[in-house]
Amino acid sequence: MNIKITARKFKAHQTLKDFINDEVTSLQKFYDNIMNAEIILSYVKPNNSVKNAEIILQIPGQTLKAEDESDDFNKSVALSVRKLKSQLKKFRSKQIAR
């Protein structure tokens, strides 16, 4: 799986990148045929420190997307990954049902 991390208007620390890699690679437990993952980190409102994480997964025949915002990038990424886990479980159950 190719993982691409984009930080808009700031430079992401290596610890944040490592956390994102660990979280996104954990999605392979639910569906092992993920081709690409693109993570976009940005500030929604720099004054209020609202941080947004958007994750786009490319799987054969479909694109899955999850987005969440909170006061911390780690929390935003974790919430987005949680949403993607449920999407992947649903997608996989549809694949098995065929």
pLDDT of residue 5 exceeding 90, the answer is yes
pLDDT tens, residue by residue, 9-63: 899 999 999 999 999 999 999 988 899 999 999 998 777 789 999 999 999 989 9
Q: What is the largest CA-CA distance in the chain?
A: 49
Question: Which of 3.40.630.30, 3.30.9.10, 3.30.160.100, 3.40.50.2300 would CATH assign to domain 2-97?
Answer: 3.30.160.100
Q: Which residue has the tokens 């004054």?
A: 47
Are the C-beta atoms of residues 31 and 88 closer than 8 Å to each other? yes
pTM: 0.92
Q: Which residues contact 29 (CB under 8 A, 6 or more apart)?
A: none
pLDDT tens, residue by residue, 72-88: 999 999 999 999 999 99
| Per-domain boundaries in the chain | 2-97
